Chains A and B, each alone.
Chain A
Amino acid sequence: MKGLIAKGLLAAGALALTTGLAVADPYEKYRGTTIVVSWPALSHFKKAEELVAEFTEETGIEVEIDALQYLKLRDRQLLEMSKDEGEYDVVSWVVMWKGEYVSKGLLTPLSQFYTSGSLVDPSYDLNDVADAYLQNGGVVGGTKGYMPGKSGAMYGVPFGAETSILAYRKDIFEEQGLEVPKTYDELRDVMAKLHEAGIPALTSRGKTGHQVTAAWLLHLAPLGGKIFDENWNPVINSPEAVEAAQVLREVAQTGPKGIPTFGFGEAAAAFLQGEAAMHLDTLKIAAMSRDPKLSKIDGKVGYALHPVGSRCGSETGGFAAGIPANAPNKEAAFLFLQYITSKKGDQRMVELGGDPVRISTLQNNADKFDEYSVVAEQLPCADPDWRPLIPEWNELNIDVLGQALTEVITTDKPIQPIMDAANEKARAIMEREGYYVWQ
């Protein structure tokens, strides 16, 4: 600390001498301010705590972190943000909540900070932030309300954002003489072969509600399916959607025991503990597999693109962070967001074992981590429409799809009627919410 101050003083002195101007510190005004950050208790964010400490040391802005299990964040944040004066200065949301937060008027548009030259770091380079991440997590109000489009506005920056890649056990694939699947046909073939050899194939989420739906969506996009057509008519009983459900059923049958009870943590644990040969979900698995506290398979994992069906389409998910409308320290909060997602902050996240959001960071570190080049190649395929981030999504996700897909993976009933019934329910919800008044 002392050394740093001394260095800082020296540097300041040198600068003052050379330019003859007093050195400005953009953080000076906010020194001693305490901001409160609400974010999930996930690996990436735990690693970020060190970056936060560095931020405090450098800027004098104190940070208090309130970490919760990630699906519990929403209730807490909604309650806090609906007060007249909130506690939180920074909230980190799962991208699927962004529409709800903005429609309820709970977030501050970041444009109001970008008009201020005293706040914006000129070297930040927003264009370097992966566009799929930025659009998916931070921009609200574009096409259909959640996709890129001219009516969109920026409410958050991606931090802990992700897409999906295939992680597989190199040793098992070699032992079994298997090729890494590039297409869904190959994937299904590999699953069957591994199952025959008595090896649990692909781990997956499968718990009733949000989790099982997330698992199905991962297959829906590449197989060419969607939730809605252009006129908000649900199409979750389309042939593509039924095929995705069929794939999910096969995954549950050939994967590790207990998939219908797995949330993200359990599904990842099955892979990390060496009880599944493949993991097809968030890229977060890569950093987790290198963490000796979580993983028994460090060094044995290979990475490949999310297999392709009728098109390439990986998930766009994870987290973005923004500033509540009722935050007490908005400007300090903006400086915090800018710091942790700056080029330097992003690079530090990589060093700390987290996941970067910048293309330059992925490129600069491609030789260090196997998955970075795969991620960089995967990102253009990341589908911003792989799930509809509309306020109604929670009900569709949990109550309709989350129930129907449980039936798919826990029974042998024909899939088409299950999805037909779900489609009817989805339509009724959209009707109730007034989506068809323009037709």
Chain B
Amino acid sequence: MSEISQKPRFEPGAFTPYAFIMPAIVVMMGGLLYPVVMAFYLSFYDWEIGRKLADAPFVSFDHFVRMVADPQVWEVLWVTIRFGFWTITIEMTLGVALALLLEKPIRGASIFRTIFILPLMVSPVVVGLIWRYLFDARIGWINYYLGVWFGIEPQVWLGDPQLAFFAIVFTDIWQWTPFIFIIVIAGLQALPSEVVEASTIDGANWYQQIFLVKLPMIKSILVIALLMRLIDVFRGLEVMLIMTGGGPGRSTELLSLHIYNRAFDTQQLGYASAISVLLIAIVFGISTVILTMANPMKSKSDV
């Protein structure tokens, strides 16, 4: 008993973990917290680049009031939600299906896997450029081959609201399905083979094996993948910026691209910051909901 109380007050060892996470915390504070705090701060001011921030007039909650009544913000929010729905639904389905197909050792599986992962390695700016020229109305391959093979009239892919929306959804699926694929296939390969074998012995057919055995077992992985894609949908702007710039109209202007256009095209930095605060709130809300529904980290730490 007394021995414990006589323990030295300062034990260097206890601080070691903190010393090791210190650099990470500093970087997070500087790189993450500071911009977020500044975004909050800016959203209460009417600042333009080229003037001193200190001289910017304080406008209190004006930007937020304006935002709530701004049909453009609701329009781009709706575009973002539609974009998220189509891309994530299709990407999850395709990604999981591909992973299940290539899970078993088939001939050339490794080649297929490499090919499927390639789009993920291309920088978003390059993806935007590649697809912008593929979809180009005048010189694009897509129009050319649609005409040569199917006799379809050239379409102005990126100049028509519906077609442009389709084009960015298509591009996103091309780029991000591999992400789901790679995560799911890693999860599937980590499954204990006994469980799968046991289900086979119990007479489960392929359908039961997938939907009642395999997928439920990788549920936490699917949730993480879904969460990351959802956040990406609200965060991503490079591809749209390059392919369409948000146009025609606002048909491909996702929330973050709208913020960018507001901030830099029309120089309303304060207002753009207010919309960023909305973006942070939405992403925070979505993450919280999903993580409360199924928290992969929690279940692991309980073990």
Cβ–Cβ < 8 Å partners of A406 in chain B: 247-249
Cβ–Cβ < 8 Å partners of A207 in chain B: 245, 247
Smallest CB gap from B267: residue in A: A394
A259 contacts B by Cβ under 8 Å: yes
Contact of B49 among A78, A206, A256 (CB under 8 A): A78
**B154–A209 contact, CB under 8 A?**
no
Cβ–Cβ < 8 Å partners of A395 in chain B: 266-268
Instruction: Kindly provide the distance from the CB of B219 to the nearest chain A CB, expressed in whole angstroms.
Output: 42
CA distance A152 to B187 in the complex (A): 70
Cβ–Cβ < 8 Å partners of B246 in chain A: 208-209
The B interface is mostly helix, strand or loop, or mixed, namely loop
**B50–A78 contact, CB under 8 A?**
yes
B261 contacts A by Cβ under 8 Å: yes
| Band of interface residues on B | 20 to 34
CA distance A261 to B245 in the complex (A): 10
**B248–A208 contact, CB under 8 A?**
yes
A25 contacts B by Cβ under 8 Å: no
Contact of B249 among A78, A208, A257, A398 (CB under 8 A): A208
Chain A 190-232 interface 0/1 with B at a Cβ cutoff of 8 Å (1 = within): 0000000000000000111110000000000000000000000
Chain B 125-148 interface 0/1 with A at a Cβ cutoff of 8 Å (1 = within): 000000000001110000000000
B238 contacts A by Cβ under 8 Å: no
Instruction: Kindly provide the distance from the CB of B174 to the nearest chain A CB, expressed in whole angstroms.
Output: 19
Given known pairs A275-B138, A394-B267, the reply for A82 and B51 (CB within 8 Å) is: yes
Chain B 259-272 interface 0/1 with A at a Cβ cutoff of 8 Å (1 = within): 00100111110000
A270 contacts B by Cβ under 8 Å: yes
Stretch binding the partner chain, chosen from B25-33, B103-111, B157-165, B203-211: B157-165
CA distance A83 to B91 in the complex (A): 46
A52 contacts B by Cβ under 8 Å: no
A437 contacts B by Cβ under 8 Å: no
Within 8 A of B (CB), among A311-332: none
**A261–B249 contact, CB under 8 A?**
no
CA distance A275 to B51 in the complex (A): 45
Instruction: Kindly provide the distance from the CB of B165 to the nearest chain A CB, expressed in whole angstroms.
Output: 12
Cβ–Cβ < 8 Å partners of A31 in chain B: none
**A398–B250 contact, CB under 8 A?**
no
Smallest CB gap from A394: residue in B: B266
Given known pairs A207-B245, A257-B137, A410-B160, the reply for A81 and B50 (CB within 8 Å) is: yes
Given known pairs A257-B156, A260-B159, A261-B159, the reply for A410 and B249 (CB within 8 Å) is: yes
B300 contacts A by Cβ under 8 Å: no
**A399–B249 contact, CB under 8 A?**
no
Cβ–Cβ < 8 Å partners of B48 in chain A: 104
Given known pairs A81-B50, A258-B137, the reply for A403 and B250 (CB within 8 Å) is: yes
B52 contacts A by Cβ under 8 Å: yes
CA distance A270 to B159 in the complex (A): 15
A407 contacts B by Cβ under 8 Å: yes
A250 contacts B by Cβ under 8 Å: no
Chain A 293-314 interface 0/1 with B at a Cβ cutoff of 8 Å (1 = within): 0000000000000000000000
Cβ–Cβ < 8 Å partners of B159 in chain A: 206, 258-261, 410
CA distance A407 to B138 in the complex (A): 21
Contact of B264 among A75, A256, A275, A403 (CB under 8 A): A75
Smallest CB gap from B263: residue in A: A75
**B265–A403 contact, CB under 8 A?**
no
**B156–A104 contact, CB under 8 A?**
no
Cβ–Cβ < 8 Å partners of B261 in chain A: 209, 398
Residues of A that sit less than 8 Å from B by CB: 75, 78-79, 81-82, 100-101, 104, 106, 206-210, 256-261, 266, 270, 275, 394-395, 398-399, 403, 406-407, 410
Residues of B that sit less than 8 Å from A by CB: 48-52, 72, 136-138, 154, 156, 158-161, 244-250, 261, 264-268
Given A82-B50, A395-B266, A398-B261, list of 14 further CB < 8 A pairs? A82-B51, A208-B244, A208-B245, A209-B246, A209-B265, A258-B137, A260-B160, A261-B158, A261-B244, A261-B248, A398-B265, A403-B250, A406-B249, A410-B161
